[in-house]
């Protein structure tokens, strides 16, 4: 079964770019990704550019509207994702708990609906 692990965190809560703690976090991500690949559970995963680079799109009354940035005001921002292939939700939870940002952010697991 495939799960999308959405990685949310408040930018001020995590290690700051360029610090030793940030390097440790990135090393943790690299190790986690390597482990997923070794287990055959890695399908895809990427970091996202900051919310300032986002564009929100919606259609109202047949007209396409766009807005810079995310639509919802939140303290935690979507920073990246992993698409994983695991046997069940318990395995997905164990994997999500290994994502470094889980220590200061939130990981949302969403099962993929096969179409």
pLDDT at res. 72: 58
Those residues whose C-beta lies under 8 Å from the C-beta of residue 25, and which sit 6 or more positions away, are 14, 15, 100, 101
Q: CB-side exposure of 66: number of CA atoms within 13 Å?
A: 4
- pTM: predicted TM-score of the whole model, two decimal places: 0.86
Q: Do β-strands 77-85 and 63-68 pair in parallel, antiparallel, or remain unpaired?
A: unpaired
Query: What are the residue ranges spanned by the domains of the chain?
Result: 2-48+74-111
pLDDT at 112 over 70: yes
What is the reported pLDDT for 36? 97
The 10s digit of each residue's pLDDT in 45-56 is: 999 998 888 888
pLDDT at 114: 82
User: Is a pLDDT exceeding 80 seen at residue 75?
Assistant: no
Rounded average pLDDT over 55-78: 81
Q: Which CATH class is domain 2-48+74-111?
A: alpha beta
* Res. 71: pLDDT tops 90: no
Residue 69 has pLDDT above 80, yes or no: no
Q: According to the model, what pLDDT value does residue 53 have?
A: 85
């Amino acid at each position: 079964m495939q799960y999308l692990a959405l990685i949310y965190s408040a930018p001020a809560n995590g290690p700051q770019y360029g610090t030793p703690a940030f390097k440790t976090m990135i090393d943790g991500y690299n190790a986690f990704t390597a482990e997923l690949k070794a287990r055959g559970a890695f399908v895809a995963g990427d970091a996202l550019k900051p919310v300032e680079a986002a564009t929100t799109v919606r259609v109202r009354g047949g007209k396409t509207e766009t807005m810079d940035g995310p639509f919802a005001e939140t303290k935690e921002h979507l920073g990246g994702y992993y698409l994983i292939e695991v046997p069940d939700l318990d395995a997905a939870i164990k994997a999500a708990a290994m994502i470094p940002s889980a220590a200061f952010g939130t990981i949302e697991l969403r099962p993929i609906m096969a179409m």
